[in-house]
Homo-oligomer: A and B are copies of this chain.
Amino acid sequence: MDFKTYYDNQRKLVEQFLKQRIAKKGISRVDEAMEYSLMAGGKRLRPILLMATAETLGKKGYNFLPVACGLEMIHTYSLIHDDLPCMDNDDYRRGRLTNHKVYGEAMALLAGDALLTLAFEVMLEQRNVKPEALIETVREMAMCAGNFGMVGGQVLDLEAENKQITAEELRKLHAGKTGALFIAAIRGGAHLAGASDQELRCLTKFADLLGLAFQITDDILDVTSTTEELGKPVGSDEKNHKSTYVSLYGLEAAKALAEKTCEEAMQCLEPFGDNAWALREITKLMCKRRS
């Protein structure tokens, strides 16, 4: 199978699972606002990473759709809250109006809250995994998503606005803001697939480097892509006086750093041989992407 077919198949599995799960309605109209953002497309990178990691360890990725899709819900809630007026105040996301532009601020706030909450409910619906392993996996997901990880990074990001920060501070900020959910995806897949300590160490290092490469590429795209390709306005980092890998190192050095980081990530996959095919292809895709 070629990689494009593989990725499309995995994405369809994720779309299908999310669609079915979100069709189970609650007691209010918040469901509509949740569905609006959850089913707005996107690369579904985090759940696909989780499944590809399980496959790297010889397991079927689709067996872990509940945990994988819970992670996508966490990612989606973070986008809804990030777009709110008190945060980035964005009107568009993936070429569509943002949640609060359609449903109002209060509803968007609550839709985010409900998606984060549903994420944990769905993850705990995972079957065919040792209960102890599921508890450890979901506990770690929470750790990566909260004040130790993603939310912590978002706060560092807030505080870095209009301020020159050091390379070290930028690394820490992104390790939280974007890196932590990559770690959650890859370590989650590894835990669920019953990884050994040694395997877990290699994959954690891989996740860390992949997250870094992803972020540097993001910063590069903000100055080299077009608004059409990206689905959101380019040049926003400069406009918002944000420190980025490009503003810190310059464009060419940032490109070189992205490439080097990708190569190092690839090296972490060597022990897994052919089984790491999908993870390798995803890594290449992430470093070559135009959006």
Which one of B87, B110, B135, B172 contacts A131 once the chains associate, using CB atoms below 8 Å?
B135
Q: Which of A215-259 contact B (CB under 8 A)?
A: none
Q: Do the beta carbons of B28 and A153 come within 8 Å of each other?
A: yes
Is the contact region of chain A dominated by helix, strand, or loop, or is it mixed? helix
Q: Which of A132-156 contact B (CB under 8 A)?
A: 132, 134-135, 138-139, 142-143, 145-149, 151-156
Q: Which of A91-99, A101-109, A198-206 contacts B (4 or more CB under 8 A)?
A: A101-109
The size of the chain A interface, using a CB distance under 8 A, is 53
Q: A28-B156, A131-B132, A152-B28 known; A87 and B116 CB under 8 Å?
A: no
- Assess whether A120 is interfacial by the CB under 8 Å rule: yes
Q: Which of A10-18, A29-37, A264-272 contacts B (4 or more CB under 8 A)?
A: A29-37
The quantity of this chain's copies bound in the complex is: 2
Q: Do the beta carbons of B121 and A109 come within 8 Å of each other?
A: no
Q: Do the beta carbons of A116 and B113 come within 8 Å of each other?
A: yes
- Assess whether A117 is interfacial by the CB under 8 Å rule: yes
A194 shortest CB reach to chain B, Å: 16
Q: Do the beta carbons of B134 and A121 come within 8 Å of each other?
A: no
Give the chain B neighbours of A132 by CB distance below 8 A: 131
Q: Do the beta carbons of A28 and B176 come within 8 Å of each other?
A: yes
Q: Do the beta carbons of B109 and A81 come within 8 Å of each other?
A: yes
Which one of B29, B109, B143, B152 contacts A30 once the chains associate, using CB atoms below 8 Å?
B152
Q: Do the beta carbons of B109 and A87 come within 8 Å of each other?
A: yes
Give the chain B neighbours of A159 by CB distance below 8 A: 28-29
- 20 residue pairs of the A-B complex, CB under 8 angstroms, read A25-B147, A26-B146, A26-B148, A27-B149, A27-B172, A28-B159, A28-B176, A29-B155, A29-B159, A81-B113, A86-B106, A112-B113, A113-B151, A114-B152, A117-B151, A120-B120, A120-B139, A121-B142, A124-B142, A131-B132
Which 5 A-B pairs give the minimum distances between C-beta atoms? A26-B147, A131-B131, A117-B146, A121-B142, A86-B105
- Not counting A27-B156, A29-B155, A118-B147, a sample of 6 additional A-B residue pairs whose C-beta atoms are within 8 angstroms of each other reads A27-B176, A34-B147, A107-B155, A113-B146, A116-B116, A120-B138
